[in-house]
């Protein structure tokens, strides 16, 4: 019986939505932080609503202040060695960047649920445990996820369906991982994005 037991995949955390390789998470987080730093203009509605809620609800403000204060101010990295999210304002700017972001191909590990990467360490603090059990906070997070879902079903979200050698879903690395893609799924390599109209269309391919 032992011969039939498959080795555990070390590439991903449970569920395969987050890579267990910390170097992959660090590289991804730096990329999102750079994108957030370049963004100008107001926050997207769902993110702005969460910001307003945090700043007007005493309990929410306490939770989000506590979870970031629980990491020493002189630390540049979180306990999991990710670049540190400094405070809830920084968290919100990263959320805002994610809302117009589609998962790119990465042979070392897909960050399929980017909100978890941003909250990787804060979820495990005392403030995080309490805050993310709060129904009102989770309602705002759900609204953000719903808004992100709208983006992922838009044509704009298909920008990652390209032939970039490393990050494109039809690039060299992706072809090595999925060598029979065009034979296995309904698509047309001659069309933009192989004919897929959005990230969701590609993700739920036939």
- Residue 129 contacts residue 73 (beta carbons within 8 Å): no
**DSSP summary character for residue 1:** -
- Residue 117 contacts residue 137 (beta carbons within 8 Å): no
**Alpha-carbon dihedral angle through residues 127, 140, 20, 206, given to the nearest 10 degrees:** 170
User: What is the three-class DSSP state of 77?
Assistant: strand
CA angle 34, 24, 48 (to 5 degrees): 40
Place of tokens 């939770």: 63
Residues 6+ apart with CB under 8 A from 151: 99, 100, 102, 157
- Specify the higher pLDDT residue, 100 or 78: 100
pLDDT in tens, 169-203: 999 999 999 999 999 999 999 999 999 999 999 99
| pLDDT at residue 56 is higher than 90 | yes
- Determine the longest span between alpha carbons in the chain, in angstroms: 60
Beta strands in the chain (DSSP E): none
User: What is the three-class DSSP state of 17?
Assistant: coil
pLDDT in tens, 5-21: 443 344 444 445 555 56
pLDDT in tens, 20-34: 566 777 778 888 888
Q: Is 81 left (phi over 0), alpha (psi -120 to 50) or beta?
A: left
pLDDT (0 to 100) of residue 107 = 79
Q: Is 203 left (phi over 0), alpha (psi -120 to 50) or beta?
A: alpha
């Amino acid at each position: 019986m032992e011969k039939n037991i498959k080795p555990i995949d070390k590439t991903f955390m449970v569920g395969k939505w987050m890579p267990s390789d910390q170097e992959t998470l660090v590289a991804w987080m730096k990329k999102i932080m750079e994108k957030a730093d370049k963004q100008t203009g107001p926050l997207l509605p769902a993110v702005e609503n969460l910001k307003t809620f945090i700043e007007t609800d005493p309990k929410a403000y306490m939770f989000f202040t506590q979870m970031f204060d629980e990491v020493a101010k002189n630390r540049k990295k979180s306990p999991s060695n990710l670049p540190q999210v400094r405070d809830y304002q920084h968290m919100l700017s990263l959320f805002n960047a994610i809302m117009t972001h589609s998962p790119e191909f990465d042979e070392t590990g897909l960050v399929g649920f980017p909100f978890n990467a941003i909250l990787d360490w804060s979820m495990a603090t005392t403030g995080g445990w309490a805050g993310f059990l709060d129904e009102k906070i989770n309602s705002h997070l759900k609204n953000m996820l719903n808004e992100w879902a709208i983006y992922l079903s838009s044509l704009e979200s298909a920008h990652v369906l390209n032939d970039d050698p490393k990050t494109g879903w039809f690039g060299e690395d992706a072809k090595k991982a999925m060598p029979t893609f065009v034979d296995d799924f309904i698509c047309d390599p001659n069309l933009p994005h192989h004919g897929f109209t959005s990230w969701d269309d590609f993700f739920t391919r036939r």
